[in-house]
Amino acid sequence: MVTVGVLALQGDVAEHLSALEAGGARAVAVRRRAELDGVDALVIPGGESTAMSRLLEALDLAGPLAERLSSGMPAWGTCAGMVLLASQILDGRADQRALAALDITVRRNAFGRQIDSWEEDLRITGVAGGAFHAVFIRAPRVERVGEGVEVLARSGSAPDGPIVAARSSRVLVTSFHPEVGGDHRLHRLFVDMVDEAA
């Protein structure tokens, strides 16, 4: 069984841990270097990407995390986590670190402020069994995907609507909060990606 960490600096850590367990992984919270060293993969939850970026630096986790990612550790970033994993951040802070695990350009707060949060039923490539009820909270969106990055879902019904989920073989990003609502299909998809990489 693979061990998946959840970066526990901000956000819905407990919900991700239980969804990962339901998806078939051993799940552990990661706050320290030694904990990061012990996981096969990492989920970076939502929260506030500039604050999380600063916390990563303050806890001396930014460097080790960047190293694990560049050596191919699978990762899943949800919302603020997606911003952190991107190769380019639009509307970020000047000192905000892009971990560049996935070749995408992300726009922070692309849909407006907190009040512009919404819920939507999405069709997600690779997630069988009907629509996924997605909760968007001050969500970022993907404005460009590089080679080898597959678009999994778009918001709205237009074929060129905003990209809200994408993946490479090892890295998954979602603009929304998949840990709320008790639907564990995306956690299962990620655990399958980790199994395949192992």
Q: Do the beta carbons of residue 176 and residue 154 sit within 8 Å? A: no
**What is the distance between the alpha carbons of residues 103 and 20, in angstroms, rounded to a whole number?**
25
Three-state DSSP at 112 gives coil
Residue 47 marked ligand-binding: yes
- When the beta carbons of 3 and 96 are compared against ligand GLN, the nearer one is 96
**Which of 2/173 has CB closer to ligand GLN?**
173
Which phi and psi (to 5°) does residue 191 adopt?
Answer: -60, -35
Q: In the annotation, is 177 catalytic? A: yes
Instruction: Give the span between the Cα atoms of 151 and 135, in whole angstroms.
Output: 18
Active-site choice (179, 184, 187, 196): 179
Tokens representing residue 140 in the block: 């970022």
Directed axis angle between helix 62-70 and helix 49-58, to 10°?
A: 100
Are the CB atoms for 79 and 174 separated by under 8 Å?
A: yes
Task: Write the binding mask 65 to 94 for ligand GLN: x where contact by CB under 6 A, - elsewhere.
Answer: --------------xx--x-----------
Residue among 16, 19, 30, 46 that touches ligand GLN (CB under 6 A): 46
With binding defined as CB under 6 A, does residue 162 bind ligand GLN?
no
Q: Say if residue 63 carries a ligand binding annotation.
A: no
47, 74, 77, 178: residue in contact with ligand GLN (rule CB under 6 A): 47
179 catalytic per annotation: yes
Q: Does 49 bind ligand GLN (CB under 6 A)?
A: yes
**Are residues 41 and 195 in contact, defined by beta-carbon separation less than 8 angstroms?**
no
Numbered residues of the known binding site for L-glutamine: 47-49, 108, 137-138
What residues make contact with ligand GLN under the rule CB under 6 A? 46-49, 79-80, 83, 108-109, 137-138, 140
